[in-house]
Amino acid sequence: MENETSAIALEARDLTKIYRMGTVEVRALRGVDVELREGELVVLLGPSGSGKSTLLNILGGLDTPSSGTVIFRGRELALDSERALNLYRRNHVGFVFQFYNLIPSLTARENVSLVTEIARDPMPPPEALAMVGLAERMDHFPAQLSGGEQQRVAIARAIAKRPDLLLCDEPTGALDSKTGILVLDAILRINRELGTTTALITHNAVIAEIANRVLYFADGRIVETRRNAVQRAPAELAW
Protein backbone atom coordinates (compact mmCIF):
# COMPACT_ATOMS: atom_id res chain seq x y z
CA MET A 1 0.00 0.00 0.00
CA GLU A 2 1.31 3.45 -0.84
CA ASN A 3 2.10 6.08 1.72
CA GLU A 4 3.92 9.39 1.91
CA THR A 5 7.22 7.67 2.68
CA SER A 6 7.20 4.95 -0.01
CA ALA A 7 10.27 4.98 -2.24
CA ILE A 8 10.09 7.14 -5.34
CA ALA A 9 9.30 5.01 -8.39
CA LEU A 10 9.56 7.70 -11.03
CA GLU A 11 10.64 11.29 -10.94
CA ALA A 12 11.03 14.01 -13.50
CA ARG A 13 12.95 17.24 -13.06
CA ASP A 14 12.42 20.54 -14.82
CA LEU A 15 10.78 19.11 -17.91
CA THR A 16 10.08 21.41 -20.80
CA LYS A 17 8.56 20.53 -24.12
CA ILE A 18 8.33 22.85 -27.07
CA TYR A 19 6.54 21.70 -30.21
CA ARG A 20 7.73 23.57 -33.30
CA MET A 21 5.54 23.74 -36.37
CA GLY A 22 7.14 25.99 -38.96
CA THR A 23 7.46 29.36 -37.26
CA VAL A 24 4.92 28.53 -34.56
CA GLU A 25 6.12 27.34 -31.15
CA VAL A 26 3.87 25.68 -28.62
CA ARG A 27 5.23 25.45 -25.09
CA ALA A 28 3.45 22.32 -23.87
CA LEU A 29 5.52 21.95 -20.66
CA ARG A 30 7.13 24.89 -18.91
CA GLY A 31 9.28 23.38 -16.16
CA VAL A 32 7.49 20.42 -14.58
CA ASP A 33 8.77 18.52 -11.53
CA VAL A 34 6.95 15.37 -10.54
CA GLU A 35 7.42 12.34 -8.30
CA LEU A 36 5.40 9.15 -8.32
CA ARG A 37 5.86 6.98 -5.24
CA GLU A 38 5.78 3.18 -5.38
CA GLY A 39 2.20 1.95 -5.30
CA GLU A 40 0.69 5.40 -5.56
CA LEU A 41 -2.40 6.28 -7.62
CA VAL A 42 -1.95 9.81 -8.94
CA VAL A 43 -4.47 11.69 -11.03
CA LEU A 44 -3.33 14.41 -13.46
CA LEU A 45 -6.22 16.86 -13.67
CA GLY A 46 -6.52 19.91 -15.86
CA PRO A 47 -8.16 21.45 -18.88
CA SER A 48 -7.61 20.33 -22.44
CA GLY A 49 -4.29 21.57 -23.80
CA SER A 50 -2.65 22.04 -20.40
CA GLY A 51 0.12 19.49 -21.06
CA LYS A 52 -1.13 16.34 -19.31
CA SER A 53 -0.68 13.94 -22.23
CA THR A 54 2.69 15.43 -23.10
CA LEU A 55 3.90 14.76 -19.56
CA LEU A 56 2.49 11.22 -19.44
CA ASN A 57 4.06 10.34 -22.79
CA ILE A 58 7.44 11.59 -21.59
CA LEU A 59 7.13 9.71 -18.28
CA GLY A 60 6.36 6.52 -20.22
CA GLY A 61 9.18 6.91 -22.74
CA LEU A 62 6.86 7.47 -25.71
CA ASP A 63 8.15 10.99 -26.23
CA THR A 64 11.19 12.97 -25.12
CA PRO A 65 11.32 16.40 -23.48
CA SER A 66 13.06 19.45 -24.94
CA SER A 67 14.98 19.62 -21.65
CA GLY A 68 14.92 17.99 -18.25
CA THR A 69 15.47 14.52 -16.81
CA VAL A 70 13.41 11.41 -16.06
CA ILE A 71 14.62 9.05 -13.33
CA PHE A 72 13.12 5.56 -12.95
CA ARG A 73 13.94 3.82 -9.66
CA GLY A 74 17.03 5.93 -9.17
CA ARG A 75 18.41 5.60 -12.71
CA GLU A 76 18.25 8.39 -15.23
CA LEU A 77 16.67 7.40 -18.52
CA ALA A 78 18.89 7.82 -21.58
CA LEU A 79 16.43 10.05 -23.38
CA ASP A 80 18.66 10.23 -26.45
CA SER A 81 18.68 6.45 -26.93
CA GLU A 82 15.75 4.97 -28.81
CA ARG A 83 16.92 1.52 -27.73
CA ALA A 84 16.97 2.46 -24.05
CA LEU A 85 13.51 3.99 -24.32
CA ASN A 86 12.21 0.89 -26.09
CA LEU A 87 13.50 -1.37 -23.32
CA TYR A 88 12.10 0.93 -20.64
CA ARG A 89 8.67 0.91 -22.26
CA ARG A 90 8.69 -2.81 -22.90
CA ASN A 91 9.87 -3.90 -19.46
CA HIS A 92 8.37 -1.32 -17.15
CA VAL A 93 5.44 0.61 -18.61
CA GLY A 94 1.84 -0.26 -19.45
CA PHE A 95 -0.16 2.36 -21.36
CA VAL A 96 -3.93 2.73 -21.64
CA PHE A 97 -5.43 5.35 -23.97
CA GLN A 98 -8.88 6.80 -24.52
CA PHE A 99 -9.36 4.60 -27.60
CA TYR A 100 -8.66 0.95 -27.05
CA ASN A 101 -6.79 0.03 -30.23
CA LEU A 102 -7.63 -3.66 -30.02
CA ILE A 103 -7.01 -5.83 -33.07
CA PRO A 104 -10.50 -6.59 -34.41
CA SER A 105 -9.65 -9.99 -35.89
CA LEU A 106 -8.31 -11.32 -32.56
CA THR A 107 -10.28 -12.40 -29.47
CA ALA A 108 -9.80 -10.67 -26.12
CA ARG A 109 -7.44 -13.43 -25.02
CA GLU A 110 -5.43 -13.22 -28.26
CA ASN A 111 -5.15 -9.44 -27.99
CA VAL A 112 -3.59 -9.90 -24.56
CA SER A 113 -1.37 -12.79 -25.76
CA LEU A 114 0.33 -10.54 -28.29
CA VAL A 115 1.96 -8.74 -25.38
CA THR A 116 2.63 -11.70 -23.12
CA GLU A 117 4.55 -13.48 -25.88
CA ILE A 118 7.31 -10.87 -25.71
CA ALA A 119 7.25 -10.13 -21.96
CA ARG A 120 9.86 -11.30 -19.46
CA ASP A 121 7.53 -12.49 -16.71
CA PRO A 122 4.01 -12.33 -18.09
CA MET A 123 0.74 -13.09 -16.39
CA PRO A 124 -1.29 -15.76 -18.19
CA PRO A 125 -3.79 -13.83 -20.36
CA PRO A 126 -6.83 -15.43 -18.64
CA GLU A 127 -5.49 -14.18 -15.29
CA ALA A 128 -5.09 -10.64 -16.61
CA LEU A 129 -8.60 -10.73 -18.09
CA ALA A 130 -10.03 -12.09 -14.84
CA MET A 131 -8.47 -9.15 -12.97
CA VAL A 132 -10.53 -6.73 -15.05
CA GLY A 133 -13.72 -8.80 -14.66
CA LEU A 134 -13.71 -10.38 -18.13
CA ALA A 135 -13.11 -14.05 -17.31
CA GLU A 136 -16.36 -14.91 -19.10
CA ARG A 137 -15.60 -12.85 -22.20
CA MET A 138 -12.12 -14.10 -23.13
CA ASP A 139 -13.10 -15.64 -26.43
CA HIS A 140 -15.15 -12.69 -27.64
CA PHE A 141 -13.97 -10.46 -30.46
CA PRO A 142 -13.82 -6.69 -29.88
CA ALA A 143 -16.98 -6.10 -31.94
CA GLN A 144 -18.87 -8.42 -29.56
CA LEU A 145 -17.84 -6.34 -26.52
CA SER A 146 -19.13 -3.01 -25.23
CA GLY A 147 -16.85 0.03 -25.16
CA GLY A 148 -16.20 -0.42 -21.45
CA GLU A 149 -15.38 -4.10 -21.95
CA GLN A 150 -13.01 -3.26 -24.80
CA GLN A 151 -11.27 -0.77 -22.57
CA ARG A 152 -10.92 -3.43 -19.87
CA VAL A 153 -9.31 -5.75 -22.45
CA ALA A 154 -6.90 -2.91 -23.21
CA ILE A 155 -6.16 -2.64 -19.48
CA ALA A 156 -5.59 -6.41 -19.25
CA ARG A 157 -3.21 -6.12 -22.20
CA ALA A 158 -1.34 -3.29 -20.45
CA ILE A 159 -0.91 -5.16 -17.15
CA ALA A 160 -0.27 -8.68 -18.48
CA LYS A 161 3.44 -7.95 -18.70
CA ARG A 162 3.35 -6.93 -15.00
CA PRO A 163 4.55 -3.38 -15.63
CA ASP A 164 5.91 -1.29 -12.77
CA LEU A 165 4.00 1.73 -14.05
CA LEU A 166 0.46 1.90 -15.43
CA LEU A 167 -0.12 5.14 -17.33
CA CYS A 168 -3.70 5.87 -18.36
CA ASP A 169 -4.60 8.80 -20.62
CA GLU A 170 -8.32 9.64 -20.26
CA PRO A 171 -9.27 5.94 -20.03
CA THR A 172 -12.94 6.79 -19.48
CA GLY A 173 -13.03 9.68 -21.96
CA ALA A 174 -15.16 7.79 -24.47
CA LEU A 175 -17.42 6.07 -21.92
CA ASP A 176 -20.58 6.94 -20.04
CA SER A 177 -20.39 7.21 -16.28
CA LYS A 178 -21.77 3.74 -15.48
CA THR A 179 -19.33 2.00 -17.82
CA GLY A 180 -16.48 4.29 -16.84
CA ILE A 181 -16.91 3.29 -13.21
CA LEU A 182 -16.20 -0.36 -14.09
CA VAL A 183 -13.05 0.72 -15.91
CA LEU A 184 -11.90 2.77 -12.91
CA ASP A 185 -12.70 -0.17 -10.61
CA ALA A 186 -10.39 -2.34 -12.71
CA ILE A 187 -7.59 0.24 -12.53
CA LEU A 188 -8.00 0.64 -8.77
CA ARG A 189 -7.95 -3.11 -8.25
CA ILE A 190 -4.69 -3.43 -10.19
CA ASN A 191 -3.20 -0.58 -8.19
CA ARG A 192 -4.18 -2.21 -4.90
CA GLU A 193 -3.67 -5.91 -5.61
CA LEU A 194 -0.58 -5.76 -7.80
CA GLY A 195 0.79 -2.58 -6.22
CA THR A 196 1.29 -1.06 -9.67
CA THR A 197 2.23 2.61 -9.49
CA THR A 198 -0.48 4.35 -11.51
CA ALA A 199 -0.92 7.75 -13.13
CA LEU A 200 -4.27 8.59 -14.67
CA ILE A 201 -5.22 11.62 -16.73
CA THR A 202 -8.66 13.15 -16.62
CA HIS A 203 -10.24 16.55 -17.12
CA ASN A 204 -13.07 15.48 -14.78
CA ALA A 205 -12.64 16.64 -11.17
CA VAL A 206 -15.04 13.97 -9.89
CA ILE A 207 -12.78 11.18 -11.16
CA ALA A 208 -9.83 12.74 -9.31
CA GLU A 209 -11.45 11.63 -6.05
CA ILE A 210 -10.24 8.04 -6.59
CA ALA A 211 -6.60 9.19 -6.33
CA ASN A 212 -4.16 9.21 -3.45
CA ARG A 213 -2.85 12.47 -4.84
CA VAL A 214 -3.97 14.95 -7.49
CA LEU A 215 -1.68 17.07 -9.65
CA TYR A 216 -3.47 20.13 -11.05
CA PHE A 217 -2.30 21.29 -14.48
CA ALA A 218 -2.68 24.67 -16.10
CA ASP A 219 -0.83 26.02 -19.11
CA GLY A 220 2.10 23.60 -19.11
CA ARG A 221 2.68 23.65 -15.36
CA ILE A 222 1.63 21.77 -12.25
CA VAL A 223 0.03 24.60 -10.31
CA GLU A 224 -1.07 22.64 -7.27
CA THR A 225 -0.69 19.20 -5.68
CA ARG A 226 -3.23 17.88 -3.23
CA ARG A 227 -3.47 14.65 -1.24
CA ASN A 228 -7.01 13.30 -0.98
CA ALA A 229 -7.92 12.83 2.69
CA VAL A 230 -10.41 10.20 1.57
CA GLN A 231 -9.92 8.06 -1.50
CA ARG A 232 -13.40 7.49 -2.88
CA ALA A 233 -14.53 4.27 -4.53
CA PRO A 234 -15.52 4.59 -8.19
CA ALA A 235 -19.00 3.27 -7.37
CA GLU A 236 -19.58 6.37 -5.22
CA LEU A 237 -18.93 8.65 -8.16
CA ALA A 238 -21.19 9.82 -10.95
CA TRP A 239 -20.46 12.22 -13.76
Count residues near Mg ion (CB under 5 A).
Answer: 1
Residue of 140, 54, 63, 53 lying closest to 102 (CA atoms):
140
- Of the CA atoms within 13 Å of residue 23, those in its CB half-sphere come to 0
Among 50, 53, 151, 191, binds Mg ion (CB under 5 A): 53
Among 3, 19, 176, 236, binds ligand ADP (CB under 6 A): 19
| Residue 12 contacts residue 36 (beta carbons within 8 Å) | no
Spell out the SS3 assignment of 139-150.
Answer: CCCHHHCCHHHH
Count residues near ligand ADP (CB under 6 A).
Answer: 12
C-beta closer to ligand ADP: residue 15 or 154: 15
Among 51, 94, 122, 234, binds ligand ADP (CB under 6 A): 51
Cβ 51 to Mg ion, closest distance in Å? 8
Say whether residue 34 binds ligand ADP (CB under 6 A).
Answer: no
C-beta closer to ligand ADP: residue 27 or 192: 27
Report the C-alpha dihedral over residues 179, 158, 63, 228, rounded to 10 degrees: 60
Say whether residue 147 binds ligand ADP (CB under 6 A).
Answer: no
Q: What is the largest CA-CA distance in the chain?
A: 53
Say whether residue 172 binds ligand ADP (CB under 6 A).
Answer: no
CA 174 to chain centre: 16
Footprint of Mg ion (CB under 5 A): 53
Contact positions vs ligand ADP (CB under 6 A): 19, 21, 26, 28, 46, 48-54
